[in-house]
Structure 1
Amino acid sequence: MVQTPVSPEKKAKKPSKLEGIKERSNFLREPLATELAQDTTHFSEEAIQILKFHGSYQQDNRDNRVKGQEKDYGMMLRTRSPGGFVPSQLYLTLDRLSEEYGNHTLRITTRQGMQLHGILKKNLQETISALIKNMGSTLGACGDLNRNVMAPPAPYKDKPEYQYAWEYAEKIADLLTPQTGAYYEIWLDGEKAISGSEAPEVKAARQRNDNGTIFQDSVEPIYGTHYMPRKFKISVTVPGDNSIDVYTHDISLVVITDESGELEGFNVLAGGGLGRTHNKEETFARMSDEIGFVAKDDIYDLVKAIVATQRDYGDRVSRRHARMKYLINDWGVKKFKAQVEEYFGKKIAKYRKLPQWQYKDFLGWHEQGDGKLFFGISVENGRIKDEGKFQLKTALKEIVSQFEIPMRLTANHNVILYEIDPANKEAIENILVERGIETNPDAIDTLTRYSMACPAMPTCGLAITESERALPKISDRIRQLLITLGMPDEYFVIRMTGCPNGCARPYMAELGFVGSAPGKYQIWLGGTPDQTELAQPYEQKMPIDELESFFEPIFVYFKRDRKAKESFGVFCNRVGFDAIRKFSADYKLGSYMEETTPKRKFRKNQKRVSVPDELFPRLKEAAQTEGRPMNQIIAEALNDYFTKKTEA
């Protein structure tokens, strides 16, 4: 077997345990293949690590843990879906598998993939086999290699730059797909699935040995025996469209076209990444740097050169320090670029000027540019499910089955249905309305529309506290606080994760919640609405029960001292954390309401009164419609009640 080179400065130290597991795996086969055939409920630690390369994580339902009993094991499967593409056949298969073997839901990831949760070990092979046979794949969705390649989801047929982004997201994903036969041996008994043929130029580029970028006699010409030091992430986008968080990837490519719409090449950014560890200052979130411009004919060689640089010089000793962002941070951009150019074999041209980045979610109805339509549906926290009167899962199944249309998943974990005949618009709307799904994006609370949360509890083993299950109520509480403070229409980007790994990219949010202890969150402030600035940690452990008292002075300060049209994140950056802390320290809770409603008497340390869950949505709607606090409506209702009781 061909060994991946180790940089000179790393040879003196012992590689991490996982490097040995990869080396012993026979190119991602063992011990996974052996253990899969065993009648057990779960895999060993070594098999778990190899399973990740095949697109699956072993988890357990933490809600069902009982001391002295075996954990409730289940597998999470993640699809490889470049540009978020999910054909109708694959979606219907995912829906079926989630019912037969999963937890009856689907989860859209923040990298435009789809996840199945709760797959038992005994059903894993049948599940992955079904996905492969229905235009899907999980290969490379997890593990130490290139992950899902992202691209803007908008299906504009009259904007060639968007079509190029899709094309090259797919081709670069193919270029960096593992070449080992292990995937098909294990999941399809050696039978390779029928799939779209690989572009000849991609195949040629993978075999081309540019200044040592590949291992010529290896099963894995690009990756070698040890694959990458850690996960590696790539995006392809178009100028101005930041629907994919362009600064957060190991490599981001920006399509550059000429005046006639012909592809010229790509701007290249490198070194982004958000994962970190609490109380480990050597780990940090980082935005990518501008590297330069590369002509279209050179793009595969350039990608290989960057991958080879990280492969050969990335840290294989400390996994906390193994992402490419640390290599660039340690070396500096100049040294990193010089090493990339050595593998590339030529100088990289100057980075071309771009328009300002804007976040776009593409919700609602839009023209594709070829006579057909596309429709963006908001999926709160990416969870496709049926719950009460809101039956999104059933609605999507009905629409995809009836009209046989594909979908694109977005980086904000929403769904875009496209290739829609205008004659079918009304029928699709009717299905959604009948299933309780909001079809007007402007009717969605903006805090919800622009928020994201990772799954966290109960399935993620890394979660410190809640995220997906907690954010809806937290957003409601923030909205009510804003209403109380006379800011009913204010909104900002909120992102929440249950741990510091940052899967929902909270470090680019205007307001980021990062789980730091059970029921407590690190608070990050200062990101921008278009995700162009890195937020900074403001508070280490905010108890979620103290949310209102914590944020009231901050929001009041924002309302009083903001500039015209200034967003919350930009405001926080401008005034600085010292000023925010001083204002908060001097602020008397409730003083804003005392000033604005002087006739109303407030009693300190009021006891809270809760309302039944089924009444809360109606109460919230009434408060928003009337523009006044929920507690005021409750107080009036109680006053009427006691008045009538006294009169009786």
Structure 2
Amino acid sequence: MSEKKLSANEYIKIDSNYLRGTIAEGLADLSTGSMVEDDQQLLKFHGTYQQDDRDIRAGRRKHKLEKAFSFMIRIRVPGGVATPHQWLETDRLATQFANGTIKLTTRQAFQFHGIIKTNLKRTIAEINQAAMDTIAACGDVNRNVMCNPNPYLSEIHAQALKAAQDISAHLTPQTRAYHEIWLDGEKIESSEEEVEPIYGKTYLPRKFKITIAVPPSNDVDIYANCLSFIAIVEDGKLVGYNVAVGGGMGSTHGNEATYPRIADVIGFCTPEQVVDVAEKVVLVQRDFGDRTDRKHSRFKYTVDDHGPDWILAKLNEYLGYELGPVRDFKFEDNGDRYGWVEDANGNSHLTLFIAGGRVLDTPTYPMRTGLREIAKIHDGDFRLTANQNLIIANVSPEKRPEIEKLLEQYGIKDSHLQSALRLSSLACVALPTCALALAEAERFLPTVLTDLEESLEENGLRHDAITIRMTGCPNGCARPFISEIGFVGRGPDHYNLYLGGGHAGQRLSKLYRENIASSQIKPLLAPIFSHYAKERNDGERFGDFCIRAGYVVATVQGPDFLKNIKPEAFTSNN
């Protein structure tokens, strides 16, 4: 029996000469604003995606014009920590080359949108001059390593952050292509073939995502990632990490072989072993992941196909030693802690709410200008959260009065005085730039939240945190399948509605209504909010209530996630 044919992207990687392709030649071609298709795939490894403005696509087509091509650039920020200088440089580049906004992503990275091809190389070069980079921010490699930005456990956070940065550095591709193309690095002529010591010539079957969490906060959503490390703290000391594998959000509408999956916790490692464990898990996926079907190539399917026990045995084999037994831990939520907090060292940390992660100025809210002015005097750091928010961290007692004055001047001081639902919301970029978006997300979720806040107010739930997330397609970049309320785009103005996810991100939600119009959102959810307010148990979370009350059933791993069960007993609107 002949072997299955590899997916098309595998051949692109094989023929790319370690991610070079014809990118350099394409950048020099001024006859078009786009790149050839194969190079578009390779550009992802370098941290950029080709996009076009879909709002004006039809008009340009009517006038026989090329699409309004531009590029999104993603800046890796391991652990989400940036210096004030890096913030200022990011702000400058957003004005000089992008669309005037900074996007804080759900993976603790910066994104620029609207960069034209002729500015692409210069932008990436200047990002590197600010001691940041874009390599491996996208593509079939390990992506930006996330870390809990927990400011009130500063010593533990410092150790977890170092682990995230060490993992990121160790798993960064070694190809010289990035330096040659973007930084004018010297092309080294050698008779010996270039080597990628970890990834090999074809890198990974698909993208790979790693996080580090410090309980009781699961703000990085460890269950939604390929590999996660859960810090175990005993007597105030970090003794090691539980290891979780096989999480992932993406699925495809109408394809039951694709589905979200939450990670399995399979063992424990010491702090000294964490980089080695990360490498060996990546090697297991490199060697056993599916390279024939890209819809089945994420690590979650490798774990499902072979089973967590097999993965653990193979991992132990690659390590040459065995992981220890899983240690006890408990997550309480996956949100951010807003407002000022102080750590044991006397420094202060302020978590700001950034709607949709979009840092911009409006006539009534000059947030981006205010943050720029704060960065000019701040002597601590900035921390990006996995919930698209921002922490002005390590504010010294001497600087706090100055920073508080600027927060007041630019109207930022009360950014977090919102409903608990809004503070617990996430949305992906979606339209107009994402090529995969089927519906709105970032631009539409604020309207949905305003509508739902009316029902929450009526039922006395304004201050009850309920996680709510919206994505424009089922790839799940804002992790909607583990939120208590999730919206996933099906088409223009239509969404699948999911309920019952775990408040701490520990349980998948369940499909409640399929392909609903946006006008149905409030009529569907309002009676459930009313029922929740009247009949919930003490301390019962909304997702748990939705299961107990029969709106949805607790889901299981695997394809059954997509088999909708629609109990009608408690709904007043079908």
- Band of TM-score, shorter chain: over 0.9
Tell me whether 1:148 sits opposite 2:123 in the alignment.
no
After TM superposition, give the deviation of residue 89 of structure 1 in Å: 1.7
Q: Secondary structure at the match of 1:582?
A: coil
Q: Which residue of 2 aligns with 1:606?
A: none
After TM superposition, give the deviation of residue 564 of structure 1 in Å: 2.3
Q: Percent identity?
A: 40
Tell me whether 1:448 sits opposite 2:431 in the alignment.
no
Q: Please, what TM-score do these two structures have when normalized by structure 2?
A: 0.92
Match of 1:166 among 143, 155, 161: 161
Counterpart residue type for residue 280 of structure 1: N
Counterpart residue type for residue 201 of structure 2: T
Q: Please, what TM-score do these two structures have when normalized by structure 1?
A: 0.82
Match of 2:51 among 51, 59, 70: 59
Matches within 5 A, 1:175-574: 175-190=170-185, 219-259=195-235, 261=237, 263-439=238-414, 441=416, 443-485=417-459, 487-574=461-548
Q: Secondary structure at the match of 1:235?
A: strand
After TM superposition, give the deviation of residue 69 of structure 1 in Å: 2.0
> In 2 relative to 1, CA 543–438 (structure 1 residues): closer, same or farther, beyond 3 Å?
farther
Match of 1:111 among 95, 107, 112: 107
Counterpart residue type for residue 14 of structure 2: E
After TM superposition, give the deviation of residue 418 of structure 1 in Å: 1.7
Q: Secondary structure at the match of 1:27?
A: coil
Tell me whether 1:583 sits opposite 2:569 in the alignment.
yes
After TM superposition, give the deviation of residue 491 of structure 1 in Å: 4.2
Check whether the contact 2:370–2:410 (CA below 8 A) recurs between aligned residues: yes
After TM superposition, give the deviation of residue 432 of structure 1 in Å: 2.0
Q: Secondary structure at the match of 1:407?
A: strand
Tell me how far apart the structure 1 counterparts of residues 263 and 232 of structure 2 sit (CA, whole Å). Answer: 19
Tell me whether 1:139 sits opposite 2:120 in the alignment.
no
Tell me how far apart the structure 2 counterparts of residues 345 and 245 of structure 1 sit (CA, whole Å). Answer: 29
Q: Secondary structure at the match of 1:75?
A: strand
Larger Rg: 1
Counterpart residue type for residue 519 of structure 1: D
Structure 2 residue runs without a partner (length 5+): 554-565
Structure 1 residue runs without a partner (length 5+): 1-8, 193-215, 590-648
Deviations 1:457-478 (A, max 9, x none): 1010100010000011110000
Q: Secondary structure at the match of 1:418?
A: strand
Tell me how far apart the structure 2 counterparts of residues 519 and 478 of structure 1 sit (CA, whole Å). Answer: 17
Tell me whether 1:43 sits opposite 2:29 in the alignment.
no
Tell me whether 1:30 sits opposite 2:25 in the alignment.
no
Tell me how far apart the structure 1 counterparts of residues 332 and 72 of structure 2 sit (CA, whole Å). Answer: 34
Deviations 1:571-623 (A, max 9, x none): 012222369842355x389xxxxxxxxxxxxxxxxxxxxxxxxxxxxxxxxxx
> In 2 relative to 1, CA 348–485 (structure 1 residues): closer, same or farther, beyond 3 Å?
closer
User: Higher helix share goes to which structure?
Assistant: 1
> In 2 relative to 1, CA 409–159 (structure 1 residues): closer, same or farther, beyond 3 Å?
closer
Tell me how far apart the structure 2 counterparts of residues 344 and 562 of structure 1 sit (CA, whole Å). Answer: 47
After TM superposition, give the deviation of residue 84 of structure 1 in Å: 0.3
Deviations 1:340-361 (A, max 9, x none): 1221122222111113443341
Check whether the contact 2:551–2:570 (CA below 8 A) recurs between aligned residues: no
Check whether the contact 1:161–1:256 (CA below 8 A) recurs between aligned residues: no
Counterpart residue type for residue 41 of structure 1: G
After TM superposition, give the deviation of residue 236 of structure 1 in Å: 1.4
After TM superposition, give the deviation of residue 87 of structure 1 in Å: 1.4
Counterpart residue type for residue 229 of structure 2: L
After TM superposition, give the deviation of residue 218 of structure 1 in Å: 5.4
Match of 2:65 among 69, 80, 95: 69
After TM superposition, give the deviation of residue 91 of structure 1 in Å: 1.3
